[in-house]
Amino acid sequence: MSENKVEMSTETALIQNSGNVPSQQNNPLSRKLNKILETRLDNDKEMLEALKALSVFFTENSLRTRRNLRGDIERRSLNINEEFARIFKDVKEELESVHEDVQAMSTCCEEMTSRLKAAKDQTQDLIVKTNKLQGEKVPAAYLTRVPAAYLTRVPAAYLTRVPAAYLTRVPAAYLTRVPAAYLTRVPAAYLTRVPAAYLTRVPAAYLTRVPAAYLTRVPAAYLTRVPAAYLTRVPAAYLTRVPAAYLTRVPAAYLTRVPAAYLTRVPAAYLTRVPAAYLTRVPAAYLTRVPAAYLTRVPAAYLTRVPAAYLTRVPAAYLTRVPAAYLTRVPAAYLTRVPAAYLTRVPAAYLTRVPAAYLTRVPAAYLISPCASTSLAFQRQVK
């Protein structure tokens, strides 16, 4: 009996326990607790990141903060979304600007494409003709194998493709048909075979390579295009054909090689650059155009050829170098500027034209002239 009671109590306990298991599994709280207990935080990276983000602003664990935790998280999420929207708005505006630029480039490319297509349609015939002529043309180097006389039958413009040295085999007269600019590639010595009139078509700077004697065949007016320093290589007699104004660009020392009569065509001011000794070859009348101060560099004997009236422009001290007899041609009033001692060289008769007051500066011994009449006149004038 006792054994039967023990078995019955054991079965009853098992039945009760089996009845409690389903009830515990159906309880929501137990399910949540079991889920939390079964969670492995080491493997759940999302949960760890969430807890780290929560620890930034959830610093106090109190009843109030736990109640407000949901609202704080929602406000924080709202701020993040607003910041993201603001930044994305700027990106959107930049993308719209890029889109407008791309559209403008696309429009421009389409316009260029249409213009290129139109140009291609217009030049199609020209391209076909050019290709045809390209296949038919003769290589320029091949012309060097053609007899030189035959080259006169070739179009002159085509000769610009021939080596320049080869042109020396062409008749010189034929070179007048060649473009002038191309002649700068021809040896300078060969240009002496070209008609002189044709040289006016050659660049002036290139003429410096032509023999100077040959320049006498070039029109004189064309020489004004040649560098002035180069004119010193031209025969001096030829310079009389050059415009006089252009001679001011020639070195002054070179003018001594020019005929003296030609210097009358040179501006007078430029003559101050000519050696003074050379002025004795210039006509005396022309010296009146030279600055008076410059005449002090002219030999004194030469001044006797200058008009006497012009001597009044010469410094008085310089007149002491002029022959005394020549002073009789100088206005008497001007003699008051001459040193008194120099007047002893002037003929006594001429002194009657000098103001009496000035004679007081003449040595008294000079006033006693061998000619009695003259000396008496001087003495009366002095008294």
Q: Cα(38)–Cα(335) distance, rounded to whole angstroms?
A: 143
What sections of the chain are H helices per DSSP? 2-26, 28-38, 45-57, 63-136, 356-359, 364-367, 372-382
Q: Cα(210)–Cα(234) distance, rounded to whole angstroms?
A: 11
Which range (149-163, 174-188, 269-283, 317-331) has the least confidence? 149-163
The per-residue pLDDT for 279 is: 75
Which range (17-21, 122-126, 233-237, 253-257) has the least confidence? 17-21
Q: Residue 269 is which amino acid?
A: A
DSSP one-letter code for 137? P
Residue 169 pLDDT > 80: no
The per-residue pLDDT for 115 is: 95
230 within some domain: no
239 within some domain: no
Contacts of 200 (CB under 8 A, 6+ apart): 218, 219, 222
The per-residue pLDDT for 368 is: 59
Residue 20 token pair? 């409690």
Residue 159 pLDDT > 80: no
Based on its alpha-carbon atoms, the radius of gyration of the chain, rounded to whole angstroms, reads 60
The per-residue pLDDT for 377 is: 47
- Provide mean pLDDT across the span 314-325: 77
382 neighbors 364 (Cβ within 8 angstroms):
no
The per-residue pLDDT for 381 is: 47
Higher-pLDDT residue of 144, 78 = 78
- The C-alpha angle with vertex 259 and arms to 257 and 264, in degrees rounded to 5, equals 120
The per-residue pLDDT for 82 is: 95
Q: Residue 59 is which amino acid?
A: T
Higher-pLDDT residue of 276, 105 = 105
Angle between helices 45-57 and 63-136 (to 10 degrees): 120
The per-residue pLDDT for 376 is: 38
- Provide mean pLDDT across the span 209-225: 75
Q: Residue 179 is which amino acid?
A: P
3 within some domain: no
The per-residue pLDDT for 112 is: 97
- Provide mean pLDDT across the span 121-135: 86
Domain count, the chain: 1
**What value does the mean pLDDT of the chain take?**
76
What sections of 210-355 are H helices per DSSP? none
Q: Cα(292)–Cα(342) distance, rounded to whole angstroms?
A: 21
Q: Give 302's Cβ-side CA count (13 Å radius).
A: 18
DSSP one-letter code for 139? P
Residue 188: burial class (beta carbons within 10 Å; 0-12, 13-18, 19+): middle
Residue 25: closest CA among 17, 16, 34 = 34
- Provide mean pLDDT across the span 357-362: 76
324 neighbors 349 (Cβ within 8 angstroms):
no
User: What percent of the chain clears pLDDT 70, i.e. is strictly above it?
Assistant: 84
pLDDT digits (tens, 9 = 90+) for 82-125: 999 999 999 999 999 999 999 999 999 999 999 999 999 999 98
300 within some domain: no
The per-residue pLDDT for 20 is: 54
54 within some domain: no
375 within some domain: no
User: Locate tokens 């010296």: which residue?
Assistant: 287
The per-residue pLDDT for 367 is: 61
The per-residue pLDDT for 102 is: 97
pLDDT digits (tens, 9 = 90+) for 4-50: 443 445 555 444 554 555 555 678 888 888 887 877 767 778 878 88
The per-residue pLDDT for 23 is: 58
Main-chain phi, psi angles of 179, to 5 degrees: -55, 135
309 within some domain: no
Residue 59 token pair? 């610093």
Residue 53 pLDDT > 90: no
112 within some domain: yes
Domain coverage including residue 107 = 86-137
Main-chain phi, psi angles of 218, to 5 degrees: -85, 140
The per-residue pLDDT for 214 is: 75
- pTM (two decimals): 0.33
Residue 222 pLDDT > 80: no
pLDDT digits (tens, 9 = 90+) for 369-380: 444 334 434 444
